[in-house]
Amino acid sequence: MIFLPMNIAFFSIFLLLLAAALAFLFNRNQKFLIGVCFSMTTIASLLMVAAGGWAVGKGITNQVILPMGLPDLLFHLRLDPLSGFFLTVIGLLSFFVSIYSLGYVKGFLGHRSVTSLIIFYCLFLAGMFMVVLADDALFFLISWEVMAAASYFLVMFEDEKIENRRAAFLYIIVAHVGAIAILLSFGVMAGLATGFQGFSGYTFDAMRATNFPLGWATAAFLLAFFGFAAKAGVIPLHVWLPEAHPVAPSNVSALMSGVMLKTAIYGIVRVTFDLIGVFPWWWGAIVLIFGLVSAVMGVLYALMQHDLKRLLAYHSVENIGIILIGIGLAMIFTSYQMPLLAALALTAGLFHTMNHAMFKGLLFMGAGAVLHATRERNMEEMGGLIHKMPWTAAFFLIGCISISALPPFNGFVSEWLTFQAFLLSPSLPSPLLNLLIPMGAALLALTGALAAACFVKAFGVTFLGHWRGPHKPDVHEAGWTMRIGMMLSALTCLALGVLPTVFIDWMDVLSEQLVGAKIATSATGIGWMWLTPIAHERAAYSGPIVFAGIMAIVVIAYILLHARPAAIKRVPIWDCGFEKITQRMQYNATSFSMPIRRIFGFLFSIKEQVRLVSQYGHRAFPKKLHYHLRIRDLFWGWLYKPVVDASFWISRKVGRLQQGKIHVYLIYSFVTIIVLLVFLR
């Protein structure tokens, strides 16, 4: 059989590596490179979607052992529905982003060489695909590092800016601390699987077959959760994320935010549900709590931002939190042997994974188009772009509606499913959980509403009103490849929101594989139009009717009201008779979020300064008013600064060993050899 999903996946990875090699060889002809290489990644991604979609749709599991790697440590690969699902997610977004990149990367032509961008872009994609395909600890970690290193170089792409270098450095440190934790976690599991004599425990199959004792399993889980949480940007391990994502080229930010974080979600699901399999309820509670904290804090921090890409980066923290809420609930339900409810919660979490990839990718692409057009990331300067960039604005708006969890788009469906999972928690046999879990539902509701507020701000300040900055740049609409990339993901958002039943039918095999129950029979119980988790008496939502219904009424109202010709008079803005209204008087990002900043101020470290410059030396005659606001991440001061200070202190101490004299170094070696000889005699 040559047409196995696995073979398609191989071919796709081969294409990506080929594209990287091409970029290396044909460094000279940059324009040609962009066209060829991004076309190749487009095809490769599409192939991966086919492979993943096929594996999930038919419930196929392929396993392959590659004759590569170290002796006795061959590479194991496996494509089961879970990896197929993540392949689809990653492939779909990288398909859209690759099309978008065809146009976007051209913006760098003439400024700098894009060869490194293309090479690492291809390696980055290949790394992500391989992580999901890996079926042993060694190959997993190698792919993980390929992914991390490639993304590091992508963040560093514009390396003449100091902020890029700093962000990349912070990113690589956190990524490595996380990778160490993951390595240790696999070490614990492998050691328990076969003992520490042989190496055969490093395959995931061996881990799957082992029943871990609770203490060791907990250690492995906590290490893995810590490691993957660092990659996913779960609060408090998120600080690298709002630094690294904004400075990367926008197509890369779309991929990093949209799908690279998802590999960490994949890791968590793989380790807990698949490799360990049996766990107590409080593991789920840990995941749930971290998810809730990330969701609420992520969106609150996002609200305080005025850098468009940074705002989106904080929203990734929020959405990872929402995904973890679903997974945490699924874990709690699983530990109490409630497979149906676990399947619902897991489906909600994984559905949101897909959705977040789509809308976050879309939003970053839109932000990239804005950046491309205005050379500006600061929203305080922007405004009125909807007139110059109508297409980008429309697509960005769809992204905003989706991420704000508003019907009939996709973000709403997954959040609604999460709410349904929450509402079913009273059937848990633990009274304490019964009382506490509803609080989580309230926090999720708060998150959704705050996200809506945040995106009213993001869209309103960027695209509506007038240009706020002093010099109005010559803004142009994004090129057609960029528009196609955005349009496709916008359409996917709509399709997933209107027809969730089709998608849930397709991904149902996943929950069967992981928690042993299907929800599709009940979820689509009364037809494809209605989504009815558990039972239709319980709750129902119909995406098609909501969408078609609203649109129909809008069209009817429009036609009825335009039956009689009524003129529209265009007039200047009403200025309340003030006559000196300027564009600086509009609400901007900072003023929009002021009420929320004041209400939730205790969660930030805020420094606000107002300075009055008086005209006649009296406060009553102010000439100018200077307002300075600085908002900082609370966690930086609490958690990271002590660590940074401590490591500087230690390195200063260690630095004393450095004498710069060759004799001293020879003495060190000499002493080491003597000590070794004494002990290893």
Partner 1 sequence: MILYPFIIEVFQILLVLAVAPAFAGWVKALKCWSQGRTSPGLFQPYRDIIKLFSKDVVLAENASWIFRFTPYLVFGVSVLAGGIVPMLSVDLPLAATADVIALVALFAIARFFTALAGMDIGTAFGGMGSSREMTIASLAEPAMLMAIFTVSLASKSTSLSQMVQVIYSGQSVLRPSVAFALLAFILIALAETGRIPVDNPATHLELTMIHEAMILEYSGRHLALIEWAGMMKLFLFVMLGIAVFAPWGIAASGDLTAIPAAVLFMILKLAIVGAGLVLIETGLAKMRLFRLTEFLGSAFLLATLGMLSYFILE
Partner 2 sequence: MNTSLAANINSFLAAMVLLTAFGMLVQRRMYGLIHLFAWQGFFLSISTAIVGFVAGAHHLYISSILTLSLKVILLPYILHILIQRLKIHKEVETIVNVPMTMMIGIALVIFSYHLTAPVRELSTLMTRSTLAVALATVLLGLLMMITRRHAVTQIIGFLAMENGLFFAATSATYGMPLVVELGVALDILIAAFIFGIFFFHIHTTFDSLDVDQMARLKEED
Stretch binding partner 2 (CB under 8 A), from 231-239, 431-439, 627-635, 640-648: 431-439
Check binding of 469 to partner 1 (CB under 8 A): no
Which residues 570-589 are close enough to bind partner 1 by CB under 8 A?
570-575, 581, 583, 585-588
294 binds, among partner 1, partner 2, none (CB under 5 to 8 A by kind): none
* Smaller CB separation from partner 2, 170 or 436: 436
Secondary structure (H, E, C), 47-106: HHHHHHHHHHHHCCCEEEEEEEEECCEEEEEEECHHHHHHHHHHHHHHHHHHHHHHHHHH
Minimum distance between the CB of residue 347 and partner 1, rounded to whole angstroms? 17
Cα distances from 214 to residues 100, 201, 218, in angstroms, run 48, 18, 6
Q: Which of 66, 109, 442, 612 binds partner 1 (CB under 8 A)?
A: 442
Minimum distance between the CB of residue 598 and partner 2, rounded to whole angstroms? 12
* Smaller CB separation from partner 1, 569 or 623: 569
Pairwise CA distance, residues 426 & 1, whole Å? 49
Check binding of 680 to partner 1 (CB under 8 A): no
Q: Which of 178, 366, 399, 407 binds partner 1 (CB under 8 A)?
A: 407
73 binds, among partner 2, partner 1, none (CB under 5 to 8 A by kind): none
Pairwise CA distance, residues 453 & 448, whole Å? 9
Buried b (16+ CB within 10 A) or exposed e, 499-523: bbbebbbebbbbbbbbbebbbbebb
> CB burial class (10 A; 0-12, 13-18, 19+) of residue 283?
buried
Q: Which two tokens stand for residue 417?
A: 């499913």
Start-to-end CA span in the chain (Å): 58
383 binds, among partner 1, partner 2, none (CB under 5 to 8 A by kind): partner 1
Pairwise CA distance, residues 462 & 538, whole Å? 41
Grouping H, G, I as helix, E, B as strand and the rest as coil, residue 240 is coil
* Smaller CB separation from partner 2, 435 or 675: 435
* Smaller CB separation from partner 1, 227 or 349: 349
Minimum distance between the CB of residue 442 and partner 1, rounded to whole angstroms? 4
436 binds, among partner 2, partner 1, none (CB under 5 to 8 A by kind): partner 2
Stretch binding partner 2 (CB under 8 A), from 191-199, 343-351, 435-443, 516-524: 435-443
Grouping H, G, I as helix, E, B as strand and the rest as coil, residue 559 is helix
Stretch binding partner 1 (CB under 8 A), from 312-320, 454-462, 491-499, 643-651: 454-462
64 binds, among partner 2, partner 1, none (CB under 5 to 8 A by kind): none
Q: How many residues bind partner 1 (CB under 8 A)?
A: 88
DSSP per residue over 591-628, as a string?
HHTHHHHHHTGGGSEEEEEEEEEESSSSTTSEEEEEEE
Distant-in-sequence, close-in-space partners of 111: CB < 8 Å, separation ≥ 6:
none
Stretch binding partner 1 (CB under 8 A), from 202-210, 244-252, 535-543, 624-632: 535-543
Check binding of 456 to partner 1 (CB under 8 A): yes
384 binds, among partner 1, partner 2, none (CB under 5 to 8 A by kind): partner 1
Phi/psi for 612 (5° steps) reads -105, 125
571 binds, among partner 2, partner 1, none (CB under 5 to 8 A by kind): partner 1
Grouping H, G, I as helix, E, B as strand and the rest as coil, residue 121 is helix
Q: Contact at 8 Å (CB) between 323 and 348?
A: no
Check binding of 209 to partner 2 (CB under 8 A): no
* Bridge partners, 73 (sequence order): 70
Check binding of 435 to partner 2 (CB under 8 A): yes
Distant-in-sequence, close-in-space partners of 666: CB < 8 Å, separation ≥ 6:
none
Check binding of 598 to partner 1 (CB under 8 A): yes
Check binding of 660 to partner 2 (CB under 8 A): no
Check binding of 449 to partner 2 (CB under 8 A): no
Cα distances from 3 to residues 54, 62, 79, 284, in angstroms, run 11, 12, 14, 39
Q: Which of 599, 650, 667, 674 binds partner 1 (CB under 8 A)?
A: 599
Stretch binding partner 1 (CB under 8 A), from 92-100, 144-152, 357-365, 430-438: 430-438
Minimum distance between the CB of residue 438 and partner 1, rounded to whole angstroms? 5
Q: Which of 10, 104, 333, 419 binds partner 1 (CB under 8 A)?
A: 419
Check binding of 436 to partner 2 (CB under 8 A): yes
Minimum distance between the CB of residue 450 and partner 2, rounded to whole angstroms? 15
Minimum distance between the CB of residue 432 and partner 2, rounded to whole angstroms? 5
Helices (H), 336-389: 339-374, 385-388
Check binding of 432 to partner 2 (CB under 8 A): yes
Check binding of 550 to partner 1 (CB under 8 A): yes
Pairwise CA distance, residues 414 & 422, whole Å? 12
Q: Which two tokens stand for residue 371?
A: 């950046």
632 binds, among partner 2, partner 1, none (CB under 5 to 8 A by kind): none
Check binding of 673 to partner 1 (CB under 8 A): no
Q: Give the H or E element holding residue 630.
A: strand 622-632
* Smaller CB separation from partner 2, 435 or 535: 435
State the virtual CA torsion across 611, 616, 618, 620 in degrees, nearest 10: -90
Check binding of 412 to partner 1 (CB under 8 A): yes
* Smaller CB separation from partner 1, 15 or 379: 379
Minimum distance between the CB of residue 436 and partner 2, rounded to whole angstroms? 7
581 binds, among partner 1, partner 2, none (CB under 5 to 8 A by kind): partner 1
Minimum distance between the CB of residue 410 and partner 2, rounded to whole angstroms? 33
* Smaller CB separation from partner 2, 236 or 438: 438
Check binding of 70 to partner 2 (CB under 8 A): no
Cα distances from 353 to residues 25, 130, 226, 294, 672, in angstroms, run 37, 19, 19, 15, 52
* Smaller CB separation from partner 2, 173 or 596: 596
Stretch binding partner 2 (CB under 8 A), from 48-56, 375-383, 429-437, 453-461: 429-437
Q: CA angle 115-127-152, nearest 5°?
A: 55
Eight-class DSSP state of 256: I
Check binding of 603 to partner 2 (CB under 8 A): no
Q: Contact at 8 Å (CB) between 412 and 497?
A: yes
Residue whose C-alpha is closest to residue 264's, from 226, 311, 219: 226
Q: Which residues bind partner 2 (CB under 8 A)?
A: 431-432, 435-436, 439
